[in-house]
Structure formats: structure tokens, C-alpha cells
Amino acid sequence: MKPFEVRNAHFDRLVNTPDLRWMGQNTNHAKPHAAVIEAMERCIRDEEFHVYAPPAGLEELRQGIVSDLDLKDHAALVSDGAVSSLYHVCHTLLQPGDEFITTDPTWNWPMAFARSVGATVKQIPIYGAEYGYRLAPERLAAAITPKTRIVYLVDPNNPLGTACTSAEIESIAAIAKAAGAYLIHDCTYRHFAHSHELAAKHYPDRTLTIYSFSKWLGLAGLRVGAVVADPDLIERLAGSPPNNLGSSILSQRAALAGLKIKSEWFPGVLTQQRANQKLINDAVTRIPGLEMPVYPSNGNFIIIECEKAGVKPEALVAAFQERKIMIRQGAYHTPTFGDRFIKVSTSVPSLWVEEFVALLPAMVERARGRNEPVKLF
């Protein structure tokens, strides 16, 4: 089997495991609002799926995304999830020899997209108390060069859960602007943040805001998101998009219905998610050697450091996997710091979190000293 097949078989097994507790991919398992289900049922009943959706997305959805971000002078290009927007932007804006700067840890796929077009990737380490688990703008200023074409900022950061302050965003935008670089502000987790500032407000010409419906609305399997930017930039992107025949109409109907019920539905999801973070934090403080360095998290996930407990993240993940609980090893995000932590998603039923915390002491014991390689992705 080729490596991609091994990886695929792994995820296929997970998808086909009944009652798996999905606590590793920051997906959202909150009960959907009835209006979102109805919108999809209507789309199927009316057999709306025979047609192609408009190439840039349903107009009402495009406008809904722009107003959700309150970026009135910007335009949205709907995509098959945020990852498709990131692929599209990297392939359109980067050329061989360009430089792509991001943090370590970051979300890895855009680095692969940048490398695939011949760009070089530079990562600024932000893991650890010495960095406060965040990007100090001065460190970006020191790293940026005339070759830097894209600064890729995941904010709130996945996996760390830190979010930039308004002042930090203002500085980061100014640094990107002074270098003439594009700033990709990946705001996939924005809705979970305690407070969040959009870089596009400070650097509207060349900031690309990445939007997802996978996390706040829980539509990961439907694949719908967007890139939002200055209309001239969107015009350029719209010239050769991967989804020129439109994104899934079913997904767009669900997303649109979601935006309409957001203010009534999402606050409850957020409260539950934050209560789940607290349950985990309480449990972690009772176990010697475990720590949650970022709490509360601005994402729908938290990291737990397990190095001082003498536990390898992979062994802990494997132990939980035997109990049908999927969590993520740090190495998924970063080879440099991956030995230190696991990541656990919190936009899930509280029952799952209760199971997780009840098992945690025993799983730590089970994982301790187990260093045999486990195949994880």
C-alpha cells in the first residue's frame, strides 16, 4: 500500500467506527438547529442538486459571510471549505523562489501548498512559555524579507488556542504591508475566540481572510468555506478557481440557513464548549505532570502537555483510540514541539468529555513508558 492509502485507510476506519468520540479534529458535534436540517431536506426534496451553483457562491451566502465578518468593502468567494481557499490562494499568488512565512506550530497544509509551487517556507517558533505561545510582531518583523510573498497567520492558532490581540494584529498587518506581502489571516476558529480582531481592517488591500463553516456551524463533512478579500484580488482569484462550477449547493443551503440562526444557536454551543474546556482543565490539574499551558483556549480545542508525566503523546493517543476516543498527537502539527503535547477538541457533547476525563488517569498510566511506534496521522 502506498503511504496515501495507509493514511486513507486509517481515516476510513475512523469514519466507519460506530460511536467514535471525535475529539481530534476540532469538528463540532453540537446538535444542529432544525432550520439547517430543513434547508438541506428542502434542497434534496426539490432536487435542487441537478444544477450547478453560481461559480462564486450563492449571492445571499456571499453577502452573509461578508456581513458576519463585518468587512463591508470586501468580497467573498465561496469554496469547498477553508482548505480549498488556502490551496487556491497559494497556487494563485506564489511563484517559485517566493517565501512563505508562518508560525511553528501552524496548520500544515498551506505549507505543503506553498512548497508544491516552488516557494520556500520559513517557520517562526512560538511554542513554549518563552514565547507565551504566541507570535510577537517584532519576531515577524525580524523574519520577513523582500522575498516574502505570503505571511500565513492562523488566528486563533490551531493547535495552541492563543489569539492575537488587537495591538498585535495591527502591528502584524503593518509589518506585512511594509514588506508588500500578502497576509493570509486564517480565521477558521474566530467564532470561538474571547475576542478577535480582523487584520483586513488594518491592511484591506492585501489581507485574505479565510472563513470556514466546518467549526462554528459543524459542517466539516459538507465542505463549505470562503476566502474574503478586496474585490480586485477576488477578481484575480475568480479567474482560475478549482470549483468554477460552484461549491455544493446542498452545503451552501445549509451554510446560509446557519448564518440566519447563528445569533440564536451559537451562544449555547459556545457556552457548552467552554464548560467542556473547564472540565478538562479541572481533571488535568489533578494529574501530576500534566499541564494545560493555554487556558481558556480561544479555539474549540485545548492542548495538554504530557512530557513531565513521562508520557509520549502517541502512546496516549493510542491508549484512547482503544477506547474509541480520537484525540491528536502534537506531531500532527509540529515535528519540533510535537513530543510535548496532545490536542483535544471541545465542541462535543459533554458526555464525551466526561468519558475522556474519567479515563484520563488510567490512560496516562497505560501510556507511560510505552514507546513502541504507532502509526498515526
Ligand X SMILES: Cc1ncc(COP(=O)(O)O)c(C=O)c1O
Which listed residue (98, 168, 186, 314) binds ligand X by CB under 6 A?
186
The answer to whether 82 contacts ligand X (rule: CB under 6 A) is yes
Binding region for ligand X (CB under 6 A) out of 78-86, 122-130, 198-206, 307-315? 78-86
* Bond before 105 cis per omega within 30 degrees: yes
Binding region for ligand X (CB under 6 A) out of 81-89, 133-141, 287-295, 331-339? 81-89
82 or 363: CB nearest ligand X: 82
The answer to whether 183 contacts ligand X (rule: CB under 6 A) is no
For the stretch 141-148, contacts whose Cβ atoms lie closer than 8 Å and that sit 24 or more positions apart, written own/partner, are 141/175, 143/101, 144/101, 144/175, 144/176, 144/179, 144/181, 145/99, 145/179, 146/179, 147/97, 147/98, 147/99, 147/120, 148/98, 148/99, 148/100, 148/101, 148/122, 148/179, 148/181
The answer to whether 105 contacts ligand X (rule: CB under 6 A) is no
CA distance 153 to 187: 9
215 or 312: CB nearest ligand X: 215
The answer to whether 83 contacts ligand X (rule: CB under 6 A) is yes
Q: How many CB atoms lie within 10 A of CB 172?
A: 26
Smallest separation, CB 141 to ligand X (Å): 23
Which listed residue (28, 103, 188, 277) binds ligand X by CB under 6 A?
188
| Chain residues 220-259 in contact with ligand X, contact rule CB under 6 A | 220, 225
66 or 367: CB nearest ligand X: 66
Q: Which residue is nearest to ligand X (CB)?
A: 81
Which listed residue (22, 87, 107, 320) binds ligand X by CB under 6 A?
107
List all residues 6 or more positions away from 365 whose beta carbon is below 8 Å from its beta carbon.
none
Number of residues that bind ligand X (CB under 6 A): 13
Smallest separation, CB 31 to ligand X (Å): 20
137 or 218: CB nearest ligand X: 218
Q: How many CB atoms lie within 10 A of CB 178?
A: 11
CA distance 354 to 321: 16
159 or 293: CB nearest ligand X: 159
Which listed residue (28, 92, 158, 162) binds ligand X by CB under 6 A?
158
CB 67 within 8 A of CB 61: no
The answer to whether 298 contacts ligand X (rule: CB under 6 A) is no
Phi, psi angle pair for 196, to nearest 5°: -150, 135
Over the window 22 to 51, marking each residue x when it contacts ligand X by CB under 6 A and - when it does not, the resulting string is ----x-------------------------
216 or 363: CB nearest ligand X: 216
Binding region for ligand X (CB under 6 A) out of 37-45, 80-88, 93-101, 270-278? 80-88
The answer to whether 154 contacts ligand X (rule: CB under 6 A) is yes
Contact residues: ligand X, CB under 6 A: 26, 81-83, 107, 154, 158, 186, 188, 212, 214, 220, 225
